[in-house]
Each structure stands twice: as structure tokens, then as C-alpha cells.
Structure 1
Amino acid sequence: MHWSKSSGSAYRSGRYFATKQDCVEVPEFSLAAQEQNSTEARDGVRHGPGIWFPGEEVIEHSIYSKEYGKTLTVLVLDDAGGYSDPDDFNEDDELLTDSYTNFINNGQNPY
């Protein structure tokens, strides 16, 4: 991996790849390592624990470009029992809320 980006909750839980200083080898049995460009790979494949993270299943969506020799992979993690602190502001989370909720959270009357 030359580059990765994790959601705030994945980063806080330690489920991320540190690619800023060094490249990270992709797991041998991942779709990314297999350079898959199929409908199944694009639609997502559930991997058992240990492929991407120890003890955790992951859904991997992957697109391989023969032209550029690059793979784009998105990992979707199960977040059973996760904790979300409403006071823990995160710019990424704000982008996922609607305008009405943003007005209310900022103490503004939306109408």
C-alpha cells in the first residue's frame, strides 16, 4: 500500500494502516493482492478473521486497473458494540450529518 485513509472511528480503534513513512504489504489472500477486476470484487467479498485484521471479518470492495497497474480497495468493518461519544467532534462525522442537525448542534434555530 502506498496510501490509505481510515475513518475517525477506525483510526481511534487502531484499525488503520500507517502508510505515511513506509509502504505496507497487502495481505496475500486479499482481493487487492490478487489484482481482481471482477463484478464480485467490485460488489464486495467478506473475508474471515485474519485476512486484513486479526480476529475481525472485513468486507473488501476492490477494483484493479490493468492500464495503471494499481488497485483501489475499500474495507468495510463490522462495528458491533462500538462506542460513539456525542461530544467527540470530528469533521468527517459532520460531513455525514444533515443541515438541520448541524444547525441544532451549533445552537442555531434552522427556521
Structure 2
Amino acid sequence: MMTKRETFSLMARIAVYYEQFELDQKKLDSWHEVLKECHLEELEAALQAHVSASVYPPKIADLLKKPLDARVVPDPEETASIAAGKEKPASREVIERELEKVRTILGIGRGES
């Protein structure tokens, strides 16, 4: 369990690594509310990993998410199902809806490039 002083220490390190990261009392209180049940050592390790991979300051979620090497490995039944091709593909309607979202984001109409 983290103390508010430890939360401040973590955030102060973020501010050292990232000049654009602003630290104030309201932000400290908010971060502490979310991080108080965490362990400082784990968050420090996550911060080190983040610093080596990103030029942007971390958000709370960046420090809490599991590293990529901590992926869940499917059990034998799930592996067999995947290998057998039993996974149901998305319907045509879902595909079209998602493509329309992408076109909207990119600002292009259907058939344009």
C-alpha cells in the first residue's frame, strides 16, 4: 500500500523525466486515490519501462497495465479451437460499420484514396 509521500515521489520522478508533466496538489490527490493500493516497486519498474519506450509522460493506466510478456497463454482446449479455425469471423455488417468509422476518422469517402 502506497503512502501519499510515495505517490508524490513517483510523480516527481515522472516530472524529472518529462518536462511537460505538471505536478500539482489536485493531480497528486487524484493519482494517490487510484494508486494507493499499489506497490511502489511495481510502479517504479513500470515507469522505467515506460521511460525507455515513450517520449510522452505516462498516464495512470500506462503504469498499471501488465507488460507484454505477461500475456495470458491459451489453455490446450482454446489452442485447439484456434488451430482448428473454429473462431467465428466478424459479420459483414460489423466489418462495414468498422470500415465506415475508419473512413470517417480519416476524412475519406467510400472508394476514395
Q: What TM-score range do you get, normalising by the shorter chain?
A: under 0.3
- Relative contact order: is structure 1 or structure 2 higher (C-alpha 8 Å, sep ≥ 6)? 2
Q: Which has the larger radius of gyration?
A: 2
TM-score, normalised on structure 1?
Answer: 0.24
Indicate the structure with greater strand content: 1
Indicate the structure with greater helix content: 2
TM-score, normalised on structure 2?
Answer: 0.23
